[in-house]
Structure 1
Amino acid sequence: MVKSIAYLLLVGAVALPAILAQRWVQTWSDEFDGGQIDRNKWQYDIGGGGWGNNELEFYTDRPQNSWVQGGFLHIQALREDYGGRQYTSARMNTAGHFSTLYGKFEMRAQLPYGQGIWPAFWLLGENIGNVGWPACGEIDIMENIGRDPNNLYSSLHAPSYDTTKGYYRGQGFADGFHTYAVNWQPDHIEFYFDGQLFDTVYKSQSGGHWPFDEGHNFFIILNLAVGGNWPGNPDGSTHFPQQYVIDYIRVYEADWSKVEEEAEFLQ
């Protein structure tokens, strides 16, 4: 009997994290199955001011730079003179349509490849207009830069904490579709590639202002930048057009009631 109880407790200790990981309820998604971009879910950032990174593109809402076809969202960077810039692309966000606090955010996408090319999937605090950046908080779920194609980067930006973690993959990330995800909880944030956890950042590491548990929602941003301080600029090896192809974006929240029920059962 004692052995049986000990065994059950051991099983519970091992199983509880798995239960926690599996108990998700989908709250929002875009599967890009329609014939056009859903403007009830997305809006555009438009302009060519460098976006704080000395980027070279002019972001537009033209169908040449973003469209839905065959169940995929295409974001395309072109080499062309437009708006005083030499390149165009698209930057889309869900501000004013969807934002949330905590949860799992996942994208399945095929990334472009080329020097100076910079695709990203990220979250930004919706209070940025009141407190500014980085006080609003920024969660970079996926960034990849052409001069370093074999590394996936995930980052957190906050007033007292700024960190970037790389995930190395020898064949790069443009070889097919992969999933990129974050599990954002009040006291920690986990980053995943193809379902594999590769980094966890804890609030206790921040040493100060942690804007990721202050009660304000974050919205989603998708963009394909060209050039900038970090990726460097395109060169003779960079081919255009460049396409960032997205199969879906899905958002989940933890179903804590189910976790508590099963935890009680295991105990």
Structure 2
Amino acid sequence: MNLFASVMMACPFAYAQENPADDASKIQNTTSADKITYYRIQNRWKSDQYIYDGGTDLKYGSGNDDSYLWCLEEKDGFKRIRNKSTGEYANIKNGEAKVECTVTEDTDRTAQWIVNTIDGTIKSLQNRSNDKFLNIEKKLGYAGCDLDKEPNETNWFSSQWKLIYVSGPVPPPESIVKLQYMTYVNSPEYCSDIKGRTAIKFSAKGMTDAEATCWHQPTTENPDPWGYESKFAENIKLDAEGNGTIEFPADDFPYGPVTIKIRTWNEKKKDNCYLQLYNKDGVIWNQGIPKESPAPAEDMKLIYVDDFDKPLSISKDGQGATYCSHKPGGGDFSAVPFTDFEAPNNPFSQVDSYMRIRCSKNTNSTGLISSLRIDGTGFTANVPCYFECRMIGPTAPGSWPAFWLMTRSVFKGLKEPADELDTIEAYGGEGPKSPNQTGYWIATHYWNQGEEGKKQKGIYQQIPMTKIGGKSSWYSTFHIYGTKITMTDTIYYCDNIEVGRHPTGKLSKTEPWFFFVNLATGGGWPVNLKRYNNTVDMYVDYVRVYQGNKE
């Protein structure tokens, strides 16, 4: 086990005196309190739940008073977890099944904890006396410490915790261990705003050379309407420590989200780093809803459009809002949890005329929107219909941006027969244990339909998007992803180019359809956002839906 101490500041507890002897003691107590760092301790599995002192038991809930605040005291290389409101400590001296919060001696091993780093700011809390982990697996309303399975990046999220800084001295940020032959950007920050000529400082230990590219709008010299990949920096020699600087002429490139690919190499090794930035000083290009209807929607009427140029309308269950932030019928599926618009770690933002979904392992949050509410109300379309979304996503390891459709019946539960059409599923990441893909996937699922469903023909196919249309990937620039459903065929499009089709499923012909947009993580691949400061962004320009007359 690796002890994690760098962000946990010791918090010596001075019991308040009811009748202090003099003003000096008041000043001393105040100063001591000011030096204490307090956190809220958030569960990874249930991201709206935080532990608190519930009297005697260590409970969990969604409150926000001092009973939810904790500091960590150093004791013999372990941590004691003390509550701000009561001054009492989390312990298991009366058994591991129910963690208590009571007065304990500082030598009591049942109140001493090992804080292990799982990934980034996600921790496990392991008790010294029984070597088991604090968890809420049994959902009893109070925490237990009876889990002997060691939590990791893919399992036992109920025993994983995020320490969210609230007050007191700000803990130092976790240092990034820079690996040999990997490229790291030192400035500007990942996913930050830039203007004008921007110096990009980076390091790539063990590498000797570098170059950088970014997608560029058409020019007189390069008139391709799709744009082109511009190599704006080349022949960059790194110093002996692998440090380098390149200059990005932001005002020459598209306004809004851009992805800069920094390629480094030596005689035997090579590496790519993808720097996401928001260009506040560029050229407006292909932004917003086109005036023309798309070719796949011929003879259909526009029945839904969202340009995301107004304040976002999202709620936990969709009530009182346009979108729901969870999957109707259950089954949220992201390793970093889908989080509510109303939450303190809200992942959604309206930026210019885009919706931004930010996946952050630092705040343990990412986002999904559904046009169907939890209760089955909301927007749907009937066959024949066409759905499309213009978006750009990240390619960090484990990132999983998607635009997809389901039949309305799924809101009744996961065992309900339902059809799913994945218009785009993109799997990010390069290198060992990553998919190493520049194309995305389209897929069909016929859920809970027995043998008849298994006989229906669908599709599961990778789309080589760097060989069609503008020859660029989902993370290089914006693309339009669409699906058309008719009574005979279901057809998939990328930038209005057909990329796949199959016979329309039986349920697809009769059930109304709704859509999702999400930035998930996982999808069967390890999630590792460390190189990117645990933060990646997805931007959605618009969604349009067309519907025709019943065939």
TM-score range, shorter chain: 0.7 to 0.9
Q: Is 1:145 equivalent to 2:446 in the alignment?
A: no
> 1:129 & 1:66 partners in 2: Cα distance?
23
Is the contact made by 1:73 and 1:245 (CA closer than 8 Å) also made in structure 2?
Answer: yes
Do structure 1's residue 166 and structure 2's residue 462 form an aligned pair? yes
Q: How does 1:201-216 map to 2 (within 5 A)?
A: 201-203=502-504, 210-213=506-509, 215-216=510-511
Identity %: 19
Instruction: Provide the TM-score with structure 2 as the length reference.
Output: 0.38
Structure 1 pair 64/22, CA: closer, same or farther in 2 (3 Å)?
Answer: same
Q: Residue 58 of structure 1: SS of its match in structure 2?
A: coil
Count how many residue pairs are aligned between Structure 1 and Structure 2. Answer: 224
- The one of the two structures with greater contact order (alpha-carbon pairs below 8 A, sep at least 6) is 1
After TM superposition, give the deviation of residue 238 of structure 1 in Å.
Answer: 5.1
Structure 1 CA distance, aligned partners of 2:412 and 2:370? 18
370, 381, 390: which one pairs with 1:100?
381
Aligned Cα root-mean-square deviation (Å): 2.8
> Cα distance, 1:71 vs. partner?
0.8
**2:527: which partner in 1?**
233
Structure with the higher helix share, 1 or 2: 1
Unmatched runs of 5 consecutive residues or more in structure 1: 1-17, 82-86, 204-208, 258-267
**Cα-to-partner distance string for 1:2-57 (whole Å, 9 max, x where unaligned):** xxxxxxxxxxxxxxxx99853221001111111333663211118xx973x5x311
Distance in 1 between the 2:321 and 2:494 partners? Answer: 29
Residue number in structure 2 paired with 1:5: none
Indicate yes or no: 2:407 matched with 1:135: no
CA drift of 1:251 comes to 0.2
Q: Is 1:61 paired with 2:362?
A: no
- Equivalent positions of 1:85-124 (< 5 A) are 87-95=364-372, 96-102=377-383, 103-124=385-406
Aligned to 1:75: 357
Which one of 157, 164, 176 corresponds to residue 477 of structure 2? 176
1:157 aligned partner: 445
Q: Structure 2: how far apart are the matches of 1:253 and 1:173?
A: 26
Q: Give secondary structure in 2 for the equivalent of 1:173.
A: coil
Native 8 Å contact 1:134 1:157 kept in 2: no
Are the equivalent residues in 1 in contact too, given 2:424–2:481 (CA < 8 A)? yes
- Residue 223 of structure 1 and its aligned partner are, at CA, apart by 1.1
Find the aligned partners of 2:299 and 2:411 in 1 and give their Cα distance.
34
In the TM superposition, what is the alpha-carbon distance from 1:150 to its structure 2 partner?
A: 0.8
Which residue number corresponds to residue 193 of structure 1?
Answer: 494
Report deviation, 1:111.
1.5
Shift of 1:130: 4.2
Amino acid of the structure 1 residue aligned with 2:502: V
Partner Cα separation in structure 2 for residue 108 and residue 144 of structure 1: 14
- Which of structures 1 and 2 has the bigger CA Rg? 2
Alpha-carbon deviations, 1:117-144, whole Å to 9, x = none?
0011111111124474572110111110
- Residues 19 and 233 of structure 1: CA distance in aligned 2, closer, same or farther (over 3 Å): closer
Q: In 2, are the aligned partners of 1:36 and 1:69 still within 8 Å (CA)?
A: no
1:242 and 2:536 are equivalent in the alignment: yes
**SS of equivalent residue, structure 2 residue 305:** strand
Partner residue of 1:219 out of 506, 514, 519: 514
The 1:238–1:69 alpha-carbon spacing in structure 2 relative to 1, beyond 3 Å, is: closer
CA deviation map 1:132-168 (0-9, x unaligned)? 4572110111110013441111111013245312111
Unmatched tracts of structure 2, length 5 or more: 1-293, 315-319, 429-434, 447-452, 467-471
Offset of 1:169 from its aligned partner?
Answer: 2.8
